């Protein structure tokens, strides 16, 4: 019997019991769809947290918080880091030790004043929304939201009035601002003022709820500020933190391990992602296990259908044996029939799962965000369900494999039917 004839044989018998076959396919579809949809929730949560982490943190950044021997990270240490393989930039940032006040004309505000190497910041992909990077020591870059904090006295007094426009709303490029610094020590608490020119405004943060109020000043002022606020503290100890920027995510783990081996206290997003990946791997495996149970339950329907098919075709099997059909051919025909039911059910389940996933990703966040908007919350970009191709492959293998196993016992039973007894059976 040719393969085409075998397919025609299977198709004819499936058409004889359309309702029974339909219910069996429906059971296989529901089992496989439940497996995919359930596991997709784990993939969706994993994707949401990963995207959130990568959006709010620089994926190529390695943070250094000091050495194991408690000694400071010196300029020589930073230079050695720059010479490491796959390192794009090394940035050291420190903050002013004192009370700061920032003024521009008749406006007063505040900001997160940081001393840093602006050339290294540019190598580390500091993006600007307008203007250019500084070329002189007295030129600075400000955060995207810094100008909103520059208020006039009238705006400060009427800040609670929504009709009053607050903050500086025009371009800050070329504007001169003054930073007044008052030391915290009792011996010297006289303020001092430095003037700077704004040449660039940093790009807006990736999330709407994040604010950037930085004021980035060239590190050439570090010694001057340090001597003014803390004359007894060595300049090298004023480095609050050092950041190493790799040339890509694939290089971060190697750089992190190298720095740890050299005695640095470090943190990188890869360490957190490894822990998170391990957790979600276990979670997704558990969801797949629970979903597989649903597929196994649906296999009972396939087993019953195939058992009844063998019983109904006892005489037909006897005729096939009488004309010389090989038992392996008979077994293959019934196995192909059960596999065909599994294939159809799986195909429908995959299409149905994608539809449910799309609906869940659209409808559930819409409902949740309507509730959260009442409390002033914003859309956080949640992915409820995600179906990667790997999940489809795994679910399909499980579903079709279970269907084949379910049909194996009835198929074996068909090969052991006695020819004489089968031919005696009434049609």
For residues 122 and 174, membership in a common domain is answered with yes
Residues above pLDDT 90, as percent of the chain: 21
User: The domain containing residue 137 runs over which residues?
Assistant: 92-238
Statement to judge: residues 295 and 195 lie in one domain = no
More confident residue, 61 or 348: 348
Is residue 63 assigned to a domain? Answer: no
Highest-confidence segment of 55-59, 157-161, 419-423: 55-59
Same domain, 398 and 315: yes
Q: What is the pLDDT averaged over residues 54-83?
A: 81
Q: Are residues 38 and 124 part of one domain?
A: no
State mean pLDDT over 248-252. Answer: 82
Q: Is 82 domain-assigned? A: no
Q: Which of 46-60, 209-223, 402-416 has the highest mean pLDDT?
A: 209-223
pLDDT at 56: 59
Q: 231 and 108: one domain?
A: yes
Q: Is the pLDDT of residue 349 over 90?
A: yes
Q: Is residue 302 part of a domain?
A: yes
Q: Count up the domains in the chain and report the number.
A: 2
Band the pLDDT of 143: cuts 50, 70, 90.
very high
Average pLDDT over residues 299-317: 74
Q: How confident is the model at residue 9 (pLDDT cuts 50, 70, 90)?
A: low
| pLDDT score of 227 more than 90 | no
Both 44 and 111 in one domain: the answer is: no
Most confident of 59-63, 89-93, 153-157, 369-373: 89-93
Which of 212, 238, 264 is where one domain is finished?
238
Asked if residue 51 and residue 101 are part of one domain, the reply reads no
**204 within domain boundaries:** yes
Residues 396 and 332 in one domain: yes
Is residue 253 in a domain?
no
Question: Look-up: residue for tokens 């099997």?
Answer: 317
Is residue 266 assigned to a domain? Answer: no
Res. 142 pLDDT band, cuts 50 70 90: very high
Give me the pLDDT at residue 332, please: 75
Inter-residue contact 64 to 264 (CB < 8 Å): yes
- Tell me if 165 is assigned to some domain: yes
Please give the pLDDT value at position 230: 75
Higher pLDDT, 235 or 195: 195
Same domain, 300 and 382: yes
**What pLDDT score does 197 carry?**
94
Question: Does residue 317 have a pLDDT over 70?
Answer: no
- Do 229 and 344 lie in a common domain? no
What is the rounded average pLDDT for all residues in the chain?
Answer: 82
* Statement to judge: residues 146 and 16 lie in one domain: no
pLDDT interval class at 375 (50, 70, 90): very low
My answer on whether 204 and 137 are in the same domain is yes
User: What's the pLDDT score for residue 241?
Assistant: 80
In a domain, 86, yes or no: no
Q: Is the pLDDT of residue 376 over 50?
A: no
Predicted local confidence at residue 313, as pLDDT? 67
Instruction: Give the mean model confidence (pLDDT) for residues 154-180.
Output: 77
Distance CA 287, CA 290 (A): 5
């Amino acid at each position: 019997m040719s393969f085409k004839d075998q397919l025609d044989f299977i198709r004819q018998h499936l058409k004889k019991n359309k309702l029974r076959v339909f219910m069996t396919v429906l059971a296989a579809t529901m089992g496989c769809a439940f497996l995919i949809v359930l596991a997709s929730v784990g993939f969706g949560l994993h994707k949401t947290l990963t995207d959130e982490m990568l959006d709010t943190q620089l994926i190529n950044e390695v943070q250094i918080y000091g050495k194991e021997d408690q000694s400071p990270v010196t300029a020589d240490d930073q230079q050695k880091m720059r010479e490491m393989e796959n390192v794009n930039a090394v940035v050291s940032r420190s903050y002013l030790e004192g009370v700061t006040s920032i003024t521009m004309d008749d406006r007063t505000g505040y900001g997160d004043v940081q001393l840093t190497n602006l050339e290294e910041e540019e190598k580390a992909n500091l993006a600007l929304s307008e203007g250019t990077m500084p070329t002189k020591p007295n030129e600075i870059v400000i955060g995207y939201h810094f100008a909103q904090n520059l208020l006039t006295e009238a705006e400060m007094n009427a800040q609670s009035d929504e009709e009053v426009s607050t903050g500086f709303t025009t371009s800050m490029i070329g504007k001169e601002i003054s930073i007044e610094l008052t030391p915290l020590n009792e011996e010297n608490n006289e303020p001092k003022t430095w003037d700077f020119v704004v040449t660039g405004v940093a790009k807006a943060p990736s999330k709407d709820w994040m604010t950037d109020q930085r004021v980035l000043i060239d590190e050439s002022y570090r010694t001057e500020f340090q001597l003014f606020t803390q004359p007894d503290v060595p300049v090298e100890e004023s480095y609050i933190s050092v950041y190493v920027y790799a040339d890509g995510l694939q290089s971060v783990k190697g750089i992190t391990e190298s720095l740890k081996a050299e005695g640095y206290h470090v943190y990188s997003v890869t360490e957190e992602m490894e822990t998170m990946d391990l957790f979600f791997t276990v979670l997704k495996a558990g969801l797949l296990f629970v979903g597989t149970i649903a597929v196994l339950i649906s296999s009972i329907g396939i087993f019953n259908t195939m058992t009844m098919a063998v019983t109904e075709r006892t005489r037909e099997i006897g005729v096939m044996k009488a004309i010389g059909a090989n038992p392996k051919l008979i077994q293959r025909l019934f196995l192909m029939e059960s596999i065909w039911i599994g294939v159809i059910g799986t195909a429908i389940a995959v299409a149905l799962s994608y539809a449910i996933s799309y609906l869940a990703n659209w409808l559930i966040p819409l409902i949740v965000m309507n509730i959260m908007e009442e409390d002033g919350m914003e859309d956080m970009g949640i992915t409820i369900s995600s179906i990667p191709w790997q999940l489809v492959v795994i679910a399909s293998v499980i579903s079709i494999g279970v269907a084949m196993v379910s049909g194996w016992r009835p198929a074996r039973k068909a090969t052991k039917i006695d020819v004489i007894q089968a031919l005696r059976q009434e049609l």
